[in-house]
């Protein structure tokens, strides 16, 4: 029973069993991690699609109106969250600016006030001009802006991702001077 050779063999077998279990665990971890990290393994670009925001007649020239689009990656289980808003500014002659409703500070929804021509954020007081440039408050940049194109009488935007400072999904920072708009 106290035979050292027997003892060492058992010890060796035990170590082998640990090794085998470790290997099996590592193999098992691959699909598990792949599943958990699935959302970040997908390439960013594939999240965005050209989606319709509405007919051009819904957005009169010189005005900023709330547009809506369907999340291109959505499912019926999304319910109401599948329909997303955006602010559409029709400058003139089918020249548009389409903004995300999310404040660049903390992603709260900004409201448009046509009389004062300002976007105001209810959370921490961020204010933007009609061209999306920061007017006041803590936002580190102007409103996020979607790429757009006009297809027939439809306004389409390149969207599908929640805009944040890392996932801007925008063409660029908005124009520097509202006078240019």
Distance of CA 175 to the CA centre of its chain: 21
Cα–Cα distance between 160 and 106 in angstroms, integer? Answer: 19
The window from 19-27, 56-64, 83-91, 147-155 that contacts other proteins (CB under 8 A) reads 83-91
Dihedral pair phi/psi, residue 97, rounded to 5°: -130, 125
Nearer to other proteins by Cβ, of 143 and 152: the residue is: 143
Q: Restricting to residues 9-38, which ones interact with other proteins according to CB under 8 A?
A: 37
Instruction: For the segment 86-105, give every residue that binds other proteins (CB under 8 A).
Output: 101-102, 105
- Close Cβ partners of 17 (under 8 Å, ≥ 6 residues apart): none
Binding to other proteins by CB under 8 A, coded x per residue (else -) over 123-162, reads xxx-x-xx--xxxxxxxx-------------------xxx
Give Cα 19 distance to the centre of its chain.
43
Phi, psi at residue 126, to the nearest 5°?
A: -70, 140
Tokens of 39: 């959302």
Q: How far apart are CA 100 and CA 68, in angstroms?
A: 11
Say which DSSP state 107 is in. Answer: -
Task: Specify the residue, 18 or 33, whose C-beta has the smaller distance to other proteins.
Answer: 33
Among 91, 147, 164, 173, which residue sits at the site for other proteins (rule: CB under 8 A)? Answer: 164
List 2, 4, 26, 39, residue binding other proteins (CB under 8 A): 39
DSSP state of 174: P
Q: Which residues bind other proteins (CB under 8 A)?
A: 37, 39-40, 42, 44, 47, 66, 68, 71, 73-85, 101-102, 105-111, 113, 115-118, 120, 122-125, 127, 129-130, 133-140, 160-162, 164-167, 176-179
């Amino acid at each position: 029973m106290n035979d050292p050779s027997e003892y060492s063999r058992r010890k060796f077998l035990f170590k082998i069993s640990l090794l085998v279990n470790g290997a099996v665990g590592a193999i098992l971890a691959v699909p598990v991690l792949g599943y958990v990290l699935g959302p970040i393994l997908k390439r960013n670009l594939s999240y965005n699609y050209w989606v319709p925001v509405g007919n051009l007649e819904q957005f009169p020239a010189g005005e900023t109106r709330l547009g809506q689009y369907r999340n291109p990656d959505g499912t019926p289980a999304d319910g109401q969250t599948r329909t997303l808003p955006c602010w559409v500014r029709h400058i003139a002659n089918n020249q548009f600016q389409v903004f995300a409703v999310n404040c660049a500070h903390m992603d709260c929804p900004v409201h448009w006030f046509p009389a004062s021509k300002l976007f105001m954020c209810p959370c921490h007081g961020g204010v933007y001009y009609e061209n999306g440039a920061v007017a006041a408050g803590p936002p580190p940049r102007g409103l996020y802006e979607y790429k757009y194109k006009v297809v027939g009488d439809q306004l389409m935007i390149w969207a599908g991702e929640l805009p944040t400072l890392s996932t801007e999904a925008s063409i660029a920072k908005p124009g520097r001077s509202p006078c240019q708009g």
